[in-house]
Amino acid sequence: MRPIEEGRYVIVQRDETGKLRDITQPGFNVRTRVHEYGGGAYAAFNNIIYFVNFKDQRIYRQLEDSSKAHPITPLKNGDGSLGKYASLTVSPDGKKLLFVYEKEYDTKENANFLAVLNLNSGEISEPSIIAKGYDFYADPIFSPTGEKVAWLQWDHPYMPWDSTELMVGTFEKNALHDVKRVAGGRDSAICFPRFDRKNKLYFVMDKAVGDPSSSENWWNLYCYTDKIERITSEQAEFGEPHWVFGQSNYDFLSDNRIIAKMAKDGADYLVVVDPKKKSLSLVENDLSNYSNIRTDDEDSVFFIGASNNKAAAIYSLDIDSKNLDVLKRSSSIEMKRGDISMPEFITYSTKDEKQSHGFLYMPKNSRYAAPEDDIPPLLVLAHGGPTASTRGSFSFIIQFWTSAGFAVIDVDYRGSTGYGREYRDALLSLWGVIDAEDVADAVRYVIKEGKVDGSMVAVRGGSAGGYMVQRVMTRYPDLFKVGASYFGIGNLITLVEHTHKFESHYIDNLIGTKLPEGEKEYKDRSPINHLDRLKAPMIIFQGSNDKIVTPDCSREVARALKERGIEYEYVEYEGESHGFRTKNNNVDSLNREFTFYRKILIIR
Amino acid sequence: MKGKRAPFTEWKPAISAEEVFSDVIGLSEIQTEGKKKRIGLR
């Protein structure tokens, strides 16, 4: 994704000589809008690339040595719906394209399916639906022989990290036969189904067992032949919440061992799992964050990696020699070591005598030395989701703030992923309550430790993190002195009225009731209804095309701040959606936020 | 001690907002293809 090209997504190919070249031609943007978050927007087979183009959401076919791409799906379906496609995968014989299919209607809720396209003709056609009846589908894959298809499915009101089913069926004559549920159901969350080279089905699963010491409470690896067999039994996570398609936390080596990412105590580890021996060994290197793990036939492992002091890059790892090469960096900018603040993973006690986690960064800038008795202002970060996590890996934005004299605490409040099912589920019914308490407790903890100036505390966050900003500023008005809400949720009722199908019941689970009967609780958890408690100024950023948190939500908060005479700034970027993608808007928002904090915390 | 003595509130960022977002690309969705070691990245 290239901010400098208005956030355009481009497929880039690295050939065997290491040469990089753009496959995607100007005018195309490889991005799907399925579930609005997208992912899995392309598939490559031999010398052919299939991809979804953002503007029209059609699938295109392009030969890798050609600059021409031709659509193979229609502009509109016969029933008037817009076809959207994600999680694209080509059958082993190259004749079928399998994907998650979402029909978007103008007048009714979207419908989701599994579907295939015949690739022989190259003509434009509507897909053939092969699975329907569930609200959502994800991660369809062919077995290596092409005879089997496995996938995930789930229904409202659950999210994929609550309750999912792993299904498998025989694929023949453009249809699924002998479909059966392999694993999952109520209280089991499954992700990353994969067939190994011998057609054995692997997956990652956890269960709500209510016992954090049980390995079932953690996203562990399993496989299925005629029964489910547990492969790993760690108090660590091999899975991740399914927000986007096309992710990969593990893949198979040529001897059928598994190279996997495992999250534990706030860091990621790269491990090799031997499924026969059920043993696990650590691949040691200085990275602490891994994603998109893929192997080739020669035991090279490819992944996106980052560490505390290195920005994300694509790496290749030779599994025998353990030699690690950087193939592509996410940035050419290199900060001096003396300017980089390293995080400390902290675990602190919460008000209700549980534990929460976070990463603390102290100010660092080689050009300055603070007087010995000086203590820094604090900037609190609250990640989005809320079912997500922060990782303590290098971030230019965090380093911007720490080198500007701020201590930063990045909070993995309860409800975050990477700490087991019980920790993740702790937020169910209690969103805006215990997570807000955890953020406030994190601030109190670092103040009590004498590490930061409690009179200068700022808080920033986007999406659900923006909700957190507004929530803590209204619940703990004396603790936070200024805040920045990026496309944050001020009014939960407005959010539910406007939000899209994928998340339309997410909020119900997080609040513990639904509308209309839960209106009182929704109002109580909405910051907009507590602005009378707000004491501190706020800067609000919003994209005009955001379909997840619509401009109405942010404008409503801005209006309320204005009416109450509280200092605020409202910035709406034309054409931006949920998460700003263009460079200019990102630069502008960070500069405005910095200026706003300085004005409120320091210049005053 | 290196660096100019200055309270934390007077520090200026070591990296500008322009640099934070300069030449930065989002990486996602690696795919490999067989023995040719070809990968797609974005």
pLDDT single digits (tens) A233-291: 999 999 999 999 999 999 999 999 999 999 999 999 999 999 999 999 999 999 999 99
Indicate whether A3 pLDDT > 80. no
- A525, A505, A85, A58 alpha-carbon torsion, rounded to 10°: -60
Confidence of residue A602 (pLDDT cuts 50, 70, 90): confident
Exposure string (b/e) for A178-207, b if CB count within 10 Å is 16 or more?
A: eeeebbbeeebbbbbbbbbeeebbbbbbbb
A184-197 residue pLDDT tens? 999 999 999 999 99
Encoded tokens for A284: 């040691």
A86-137 residue pLDDT tens? 999 999 999 999 999 999 999 999 999 999 999 987 789 999 999 999 999 9
Contact A131, A114 (CB under 8 A): yes
Q: Does A12 touch chain B (CB under 8 A)?
A: yes
Contact B15, A366 (CB under 8 A): no
Contact across the interface for A15 and B27, Cβ inside 8 Å: no
Q: Over range A482-503, report the average pLDDT.
A: 89
- Least confident residue range of A430-439, A491-500, A577-586: A491-500
- Roughly how many angstroms between the first and final C-alpha of chain A, as a whole number? 39
Quote the Cα angle for A105-A106-A110, to 5°: 30
Confidence of residue A604 (pLDDT cuts 50, 70, 90): low
Which amino acid is present at A439?
V
Q: Which of residues 343-382 of A touch B (CB under 8 A)?
A: 363, 365-371, 374-377
Nearest residue of B to residue A396, measured between CA atoms: B20
Encoded tokens for A535: 């004491």
In residues, how long is chain A? 604
Indicate whether A486 pLDDT > 70. yes
The span from the CA of A98 to the CA of A113, in Å, is 11
Encoded tokens for A363: 């100010």
Which amino acid is present at A3?
P
The pLDDT score that the predictor gives to residue B34 is 53
Contact across the interface for B27 and A304, Cβ inside 8 Å: yes
Contact across the interface for B26 and A1, Cβ inside 8 Å: yes
Contact A184, A163 (CB under 8 A): yes
A448–chain B nearest CA distance, Å: 19
The pLDDT score that the predictor gives to residue B31 is 79
The pTM score is 0.92
A498 or B11, higher pLDDT? B11
A526–chain B nearest CA distance, Å: 32
The pLDDT score that the predictor gives to residue A53 is 98
Indicate whether A148 pLDDT > 60. yes
The span from the CA of A139 to the CA of A507, in Å, is 24
Percent of chain A's residues with pLDDT above 70: 100
Contact A161, A424 (CB under 8 A): yes
Q: Over range A287-313, report the average pLDDT.
A: 92
The span from the CA of A120 to the CA of A511, in Å, is 49
The pLDDT score that the predictor gives to residue B36 is 46
Question: Sheet containing A220-224: which strands, arranged edge to edge?
Answer: A188-195, A201-207, A220-224, A228-230
Of residues B2, B35, B41, nearest to A328 (C-beta): B41
Beta pairing partners, A220: A205
SS3 A255: coil
Confidence of residue A297 (pLDDT cuts 50, 70, 90): confident
Contact A333, B22 (CB under 8 A): yes
Confidence of residue A440 (pLDDT cuts 50, 70, 90): very high
A97 contact residues in B (CB cutoff 8 A):
none
Q: Strand pairing of A188-195 and A201-207?
A: antiparallel
Contact A425, A210 (CB under 8 A): no
Indicate whether B41 pLDDT > 90. no
Indicate whether B24 pLDDT > 90. no
Distances, alpha carbon A425 to alpha carbons A152, A195, A210, in Å: 20, 29, 10
The pLDDT score that the predictor gives to residue A360 is 98
The pLDDT score that the predictor gives to residue A381 is 95
Contact across the interface for B11 and A368, Cβ inside 8 Å: yes
Q: Over range A393-413, report the average pLDDT.
A: 96
A604 or A322, higher pLDDT? A322
Reported for A549-554, long-range contacts at CB under 8 A and 24+ positions apart, including other chains, are A549/A463, A549/A466, A549/A487, A549/A488, A549/A489, A549/A495, A549/A578, A550/A494, A550/A498, A552/A494, A552/A498, A553/A488, A553/A489, A553/A490, A553/A491, A553/A494, A553/A495, A553/A498, A554/A485, A554/A487, A554/A488, A554/A490
The span from the CA of A559 to the CA of A468, in Å, is 19
A249 C-beta neighbours (distance < 10 Å), count: 25
Confidence of residue A2 (pLDDT cuts 50, 70, 90): confident
Confidence of residue A574 (pLDDT cuts 50, 70, 90): very high
What is the radius of gyration, based on Cα positions, of chain B? Answer: 20
Confidence of residue A331 (pLDDT cuts 50, 70, 90): confident
The span from the CA of A449 to the CA of A470, in Å, is 25
Distances, alpha carbon A66 to alpha carbons A16, A24, A50, in Å: 18, 10, 13
A531-542 residue pLDDT tens? 888 889 999 999
Contact across the interface for B25 and A330, Cβ inside 8 Å: yes
The pLDDT score that the predictor gives to residue A313 is 93
Of residues A44, A404, A406, nearest to B40 (C-beta): A44
Contact A543, A577 (CB under 8 A): yes
A398 C-beta neighbours (distance < 10 Å), count: 23
Within 13 A of A252's CA, how many CA atoms are on the CB side?
A: 20
Would the CA dihedral through B6, B7, B8, B10 be positive or negative? negative
